């Protein structure tokens, strides 16, 4: 009898343990939080901004290597091609350029037909003014930083599946040649009948601003309610107003502009580089070791709930303001 009682106790303990393990597992699955890690960002940056890629000039061997790296990243993380392949190719004279385009399908049967476009340019100028025998303009902040941010957003949403609307991750070449890559892609997407809701271009987010300023700023701030909407869902002022953005005509100088021009939608560039916090714009010292990876990870992680709030609302909350 005593032996039978002992066996029953053991069975009860094991049963409870299995049940508890199952509950914990379910809880872990439902509450699993995907975060963007500074080390992952650094790993991508140390490749894209390496001397091996020779400054990623459009048409060069280095930008081909960068494109392959991005394509492999998309494949590894479940980001599918939007077109037949990841590449959107175009000609600039005798130079072949190619944007890299991935898609994360939305989870809502109706809203998935509307697209949020996230992007950055992965090309740079190639060579710069020689400093201490170094001629490679590595383009870490400009714009490997924005490219990697867009890639990390893609990875997050491909894994979390928390986007009701579909997302395009669009990485452009030939930005340094006059926004040629983004202009080609915007036109092609319009011809295919894409229904875009909004577009955000990430431009130089590798270094933090002063502590008394908003984490980032948005070009064309007053053209829409995009910044206030993102800040509402973020629960803090992530995106602020930068007076010099209008003075420097930044709205027209980055890859958001072709999408605004083609689709007449809220399309802006977000940046943390404000011309006072980094001395190496188009400089050979714009290198991976000068990036602030904790800042970059914090920027992406803080913007995720802001994007989720905006992209999942049934109505189109972000709208253009009347001029």
pLDDT exceeds 70 at position 18: no
Sign of CA dihedral 109, 30, 159, 183: positive
pLDDT tens, position by position, 100-136: 999 999 999 999 999 999 999 999 999 999 999 999 9
- Segment 17-23 shows an average pLDDT of 38
**Per-residue pLDDT band at 9 (split at 50, 70, 90):** very low
Lowest mean per-residue pLDDT among 14-18, 85-89, 199-203:
14-18
Q: Is the pLDDT at 28 greater than 50, yes or no? A: no
Residues 6+ apart with CB under 8 A from 310: 116, 198, 229, 230, 233, 317, 318
**Average pLDDT value for residue range 220-245:** 97
CATH number 3.40.50.10680 given to 35-312? no
226 closest CA partner among 248, 178, 259: 259
- 171 band by pLDDT with thresholds 50, 70 and 90: very high
Instruction: Indicate the domain borders of the chain.
Output: 35-312
- Vertex 160 angle, CA 154 and 165, to 5°: 65
CA 316 – CA 21 distance, rounded (Å): 42
Distance CA 123, CA 184 (A): 15
**Chain center to CA of 10:** 53
Looking at residue 276, what is its pLDDT? 96
The pTM (predicted TM-score) of the whole model is: 0.90
* Better-scored residue on pLDDT, 323 or 272: 272
User: Alpha helices, DSSP H only, in the chain?
Assistant: 2-30, 38-48, 61-76, 145-160, 180-191, 226-234, 243-247, 257-263, 293-312
Please report, for residues 111, 163, 229, 281, the alpha-carbon distance to residue 105 in angstroms, rounded to integers and kept in the order given. Answer: 10, 8, 23, 36
Please state, in angstroms and rounded to a whole number, the distance separating the CA atoms of residues 18 and 25. 10
Say which residues have a Cβ less than 8 Å from residue 104's Cβ, sequence separation at least 6: 79, 80, 154, 157, 158, 163, 166, 167, 169
Q: State whether residue 48 is helix, strand or coil.
A: helix
* pLDDT given for residue 152 in this prediction: 98
Opening angle at CA 132, ends 129 and 134, nearest 5: 55
Which residues touch 280 (CB under 8 Å, ≥6 apart)?
Answer: 141, 286, 287, 290
Provide CB contacts within 8 A for 14, sequence distance 6+. none
- The DSSP code sequence of 83-105 is SSSSEEEEEETTEEEEEEEEEE-
């Amino acid at each position: 009898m005593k032996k039978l009682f002992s066996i029953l106790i053991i069975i009860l303990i094991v049963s409870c343990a299995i049940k508890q393990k199952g509950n914990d597992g379910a809880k872990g699955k439902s509450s699993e939080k995907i975060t963007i890690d500074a080390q992952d960002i650094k790993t991508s940056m140390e490749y894209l901004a390496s001397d091996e890629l020779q400054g990623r000039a459009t048409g060069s061997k280095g930008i081909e290597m960068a494109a392959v790296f991005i394509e492999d990243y998309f494949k590894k993380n479940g980001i599918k091609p939007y077109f037949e392949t990841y590449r959107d190719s175009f000609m600039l004279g005798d130079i072949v350029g190619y944007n890299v385009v991935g898609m994360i399908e939305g989870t809502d049967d109706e809203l998935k037909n509307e697209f949020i476009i996230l992007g950055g340019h992965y090309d740079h100028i190639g060579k710069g003014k020689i400093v201490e025998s170094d001629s490679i303009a590595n383009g870490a902040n400009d714009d490997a930083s924005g490219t990697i941010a867009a890639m990390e957003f893609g990875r997050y949403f491909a894994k979390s599946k928390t986007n009701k609307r579909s997302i395009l991750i669009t990485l452009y070449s030939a930005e340094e040649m006059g926004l040629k890559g983004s202009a080609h892609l915007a036109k092609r997407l319009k011809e295919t009948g894409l229904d875009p809701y909004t577009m955000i271009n990430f431009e130089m987010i590798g270094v933090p601003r002063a502590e008394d300023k908003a984490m980032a700023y948005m070009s064309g701030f007053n053209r829409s309610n995009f910044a206030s909407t993102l800040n509402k869902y973020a629960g803090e002022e992530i995106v602020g107003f930068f007076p010099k953005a209008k003075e420097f005509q930044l709205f027209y100088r980055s890859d958001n502009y072709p999408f605004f021009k083609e689709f007449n939608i809220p399309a802006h560039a977000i940046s943390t580089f404000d011309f006072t916090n980094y001395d190496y714009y188009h400089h050979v010292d714009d290198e991976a070791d000068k990036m602030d990876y904790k800042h970059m990870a914090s920027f992406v992680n803080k913007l995720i709930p802001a994007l989720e709030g905006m992209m999942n609302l049934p109505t189109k909350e972000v709208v253009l303001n009347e001029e």
